[in-house]
Structure 1
Amino acid sequence: MTLFEGRNLDCRRGGRDVFAGLSFELAAGGALLLTGANGSGKSSLLRMLAGLLRPAGGAVLWDGQPVSEDPGAHAARLHYLGHLDAVKPVLSVRENLRFWASLREGAEGAGAGGD
């Protein structure tokens, strides 16, 4: 059963088409391998899947529903770490995850104060 899906995704960056008509389906526990040259759209696709970049065409779906319908729920399901500079090399994987989770919890707590 498909859990995460990209359907006919198009990406345009800086006035140029990066990719068009990209589709995939992932079952729960599945993996997606992205390969390609610099500028081929790997990072753009990851940002799109995380809900940080809107597709120029097509849709990203979670459990059959477009993630654009409830971006907050989609953001709560995943964590996106961009390029290497976001990972602290002196910390273990577990410590990195705890660090980023603490930042998220702090931001949510700051917004809950009703200032």
Structure 2
Amino acid sequence: MISYKAFLKLLGELHLPHNRFLPDDFDNIIDDFEYDSKQAAEVFGKSDVTIRRWCRTGQLKYQRKNPYIIKGSDMKQKIFEDHYSTIISQLKGLRELDDHDFKYLLNQLDQSN
């Protein structure tokens, strides 16, 4: 799967606003900030127990545990992955790209799978 950073770069190349495809809170997450599991739980709208389980099972990358510390960029990647199928559906419904740009977009996304 393409990383959220590569996706944002791709949208920028095509002059498409990323906030059209990602949740509103996405921009409020600071890439280099280290969030504890309770802060991450607030961002995700989940319990602290869920965040710790995601860390233990590899669903959410973390920097260290006791307490679990998660970088903002890793939280953004999880959000992007969780919304990926919806994003792809939205992209396929775009009408503002010409055929060349649309094929380029789909090709870039396909290469990442």
Superposition TM-score tier, normalisation by shorter sequence = under 0.3
Q: Which has the higher helix share?
A: 2
Name the structure, 1 or 2, with higher relative contact order (CA <8 Å, separation 6+).
2
User: What TM-score, normalized to structure 1?
Assistant: 0.24
Give TM-score, length-normalised by structure 2.
Answer: 0.24
Q: Which has the higher strand share?
A: 1
